[in-house]
Structure 1
Amino acid sequence: MATPDFDIPYEHRKPFAKHYQQAIWPMCKKLEARRGPIVARQQARMAQIRPFTRLMWPMIYLSFGSSALGFFGVLPNQWIFIGFGLAFVSMLGMAGLAWWAGNELSNFMDEGIDKLYPRVLAYFGKDFVIKWGNEATGQHRAYEDFGIFPKHDKSSCFSHLKGSHHGVPFAFFNVGFYEKKNNDKYELAFKGVLLAFTLKKAFKGTTRVVRDGGFWLSLGQRGLDRVKLEDPRFEARFEVFSSDQVEARYLLNPGMMERLIELDNHFGNGLEACFKDNKLLIRVPSSRDFFSHHQDHEKPIDFKEPIGEIFADLGFIFGIADELALARHTGL
């Protein structure tokens, strides 16, 4: 095939095009050879179930109608339960038929994600490992005591990427935090990203970067003092608290402040961060589902679309790692 054009930084275009041809395109071709027959089978199954679904919709409406008539006394009271029961069975049947028709295609699209994302990420290093779902769950909870998790009763991790850049290991978590409401149901309170960077040497103190929240926020930063910085853009957006004023100013140098502002803008505004022990933890809200490309099953598979997004996301992450690497070389 002709080398595709990628919306990525110029210096990566030639080496990544080579990587794409060697590691990604061969798998795309294998998946594409299977896509057509699988889509054809899915469409055939949909045609088979269409007559049944056309019958079930009137049955559902009639069932709810009979239940309502039972409630108002037009029909015997038992029709309240009979109607709801028939409607439930009908909807369950429709769901089962839809699963039967589309399950093979759904599994195939998930398989494509599982096989192609690791091949793209391998370009950045052999230590880049991506996990989803149950394989990713739980590891983000190790950072609970950093003090920037939102209020929550439970949490989950949708995807987890680990790797390194210029000798700085990092972990990326696409997470959701949930609060329990009075009806015992959980509501999503926060969805976004946790980024954890690890250094070889521990920080002397703890430094937190939080949203500008006034007096009550300041009151909540126990044991930490307010740090004034010289960047008016950073000061307008964030407040900084630390147990070591000198270290905080060293960590939040002009380069790091600029990187944090860029990261905040890219992912969706709402960033908070904490330097603690030998780690930097960053939390930023985002409604996106990371590393979860929704391929149009009607289009040929080339996996070109998510590549630019991957480079953009990692570019901002690498920027933070670069600042930490520089700080390490200058005495951190």
Structure 2
Amino acid sequence: MKKWNEAYQLERFAKTDEEFDTYFNEELKQDVERLESERKKAIGLTKKQAMKLLPLVAVLILSYFFWPYIIGYLFFGILFISTFLFKDIEKKRRKLEKKIKEELVTDIVKFINRRFSYSPRKYIPQKDFIDSNVFETNPNRYFGDDFIKGSVGSSVKGDQARNNQPKTELSFSEIRAFHAVPFKDRNGKKKQRIQPLFKGLFFVADFNKDFEGITIIGPKKDRTIAKKVKTEERDKLEEVELEDIDFMDKFLVRTTDQITARYILTPNFMNRMLSFTTVERFGEIPKPTSLKEAWHMGVNAKHLPQVNFANTPYFSFKDGKMYFFLPTEKRHFELNMYVPITKEVMKGYFHDINIALELVDELNLNLRIWNKV
């Protein structure tokens, strides 16, 4: 059933939490419980194999005090044995992760929009990253995964919805972008200094409409945004001052067209952007309840919410496209064997995908932006 914004007669494309809850209970719950059962079996096997190493670890500790000359041999011997003991566990982990992506994530993508496709090993091309004109430095090391692509709205002019709403093409994925700078150390040996540029979710929305100039938005503390826009355009870039004090405290806005920038930055859209800067967007880091749990959290720290990371997003609007960078410093659809596969985890996947449609809905609400075909 299509949802409409009655005030503007616009079709809404984002799903609600209530819709996801219903979908989960009716369609996804049994699959989640089945894969959670597989995860628990894999954890049980991990504990069983770890117990086999305990006698060797005890000997290693004793050798430190009584036979220090053999400690190196024992250490590498334990590593060698561990490789074989945990080989099957790593296979099970990869197999389970593949199932989660091929079954659960794919189903969630289709629930959000039947026109969307999901490719776990693909990602948004580097050209789109560069075309956004957000970052001063171009990446020369560029990786990603979990590519989602599709469209919303009508693709036929004569069949557009009540509001003459054209088709919007969407694509997004996880991206890790770096810039490697070669240098020589004191001894003349060639090395590389790796500068991280971005790690998180990257969205591109093509509205098949036009709007004037270039508008680029980013964290206020990052004065480098929009620095690599070619000279003849950069000379025209101006900072935009808005009435929303909270927004201006967080964001820097540069544009070649003040009117377009103000049309884009409606109160609702600014509130949406501000919501991405809060810790609650990713959830609080849970406190460990035991030494064992603390150890597991330390081993799997890369999967935990990043509270201290500066997660202020970047936007640019250019040639009818919106580019949106949401830094998260986490892997979004990766399996952590020590975290249960639950409805809450699935809802996190849903929110990560649904973000793009929420932004499209917010922008489509302001019809004045899209008044040029």
Q: TM-score, normalised by structure 2?
A: 0.64
Amino acid at match of 1:20: F
For residues 276 and 62 of structure 1, the distance between their equivalents in structure 2, rounded to whole angstroms, comes to: 70
Number of residue equivalences: 301
- Alignment counterpart, residue 272 of structure 1, candidates 288, 305, 314: 314
Largest Rg, 1 or 2:
1
| Contact 1:159–1:175 (CA under 8 A) maintained in structure 2 | no
- Alignment counterpart, residue 208 of structure 2, candidates 200, 205, 228: 200
For residues 38 and 211 of structure 1, the distance between their equivalents in structure 2, rounded to whole angstroms, comes to: 42
Structure with more relative contact order (C-alpha pairs < 8 Å, separation 6 or more): 2
CA separation of 1:261/1:206 partners in 2, compared to 1, >3 Å: closer, same or farther? same
Partner of 1:184: helix, strand, or coil?
strand
User: What does 1:6-155 correspond to in 2, within 5 Å?
Assistant: 12-13=17-18, 15-31=19-35, 34-35=38-39, 38-52=42-56, 90=77, 93-114=80-101, 115-132=103-120, 135-137=121-123, 139-149=125-135, 151=137, 152-155=139-142
| Contact 2:150–2:171 (CA under 8 A) maintained in structure 1 | yes
- Are 1:249 and 2:226 matched, yes or no? no
Gaps of 5+ in 1: 1-8, 68-82
- Are 1:162 and 2:149 matched, yes or no? yes
CA RMSD for the aligned pairs?
A: 3.9
| Contact 1:191–1:285 (CA under 8 A) maintained in structure 2 | yes
Q: Deviation at 1:93?
A: 0.9
For residues 254 and 35 of structure 1, the distance between their equivalents in structure 2, rounded to whole angstroms, comes to: 44
For residues 315 and 95 of structure 1, the distance between their equivalents in structure 2, rounded to whole angstroms, comes to: 41
| Contact 2:135–2:224 (CA under 8 A) maintained in structure 1 | no
Structure holding more helix per residue: 1
- Are 1:225 and 2:229 matched, yes or no? no
Identity among equivalent positions (%) equals 17
For residues 142 and 126 of structure 1, the distance between their equivalents in structure 2, rounded to whole angstroms, comes to: 24
Q: TM-score, normalised by structure 1?
A: 0.71
For residues 294 and 325 of structure 1, the distance between their equivalents in structure 2, rounded to whole angstroms, comes to: 37
Partner residue in 1 for 2:249: 236
For residues 32 and 219 of structure 1, the distance between their equivalents in structure 2, rounded to whole angstroms, comes to: 48
Q: Deviation at 1:280?
A: 0.6
For residues 29 and 122 of structure 1, the distance between their equivalents in structure 2, rounded to whole angstroms, comes to: 20
CA separation of 1:281/1:52 partners in 2, compared to 1, >3 Å: closer, same or farther? same
Partner of 2:312: helix, strand, or coil?
coil
Gaps of 5+ in 2: 1-13, 154-166, 184-190, 283-309
For residues 37 and 323 of structure 1, the distance between their equivalents in structure 2, rounded to whole angstroms, comes to: 44
| Contact 2:115–2:152 (CA under 8 A) maintained in structure 1 | no
CA separation of 1:57/1:279 partners in 2, compared to 1, >3 Å: closer, same or farther? farther
For residues 162 and 180 of structure 1, the distance between their equivalents in structure 2, rounded to whole angstroms, comes to: 29
Partner of 1:208: helix, strand, or coil?
strand
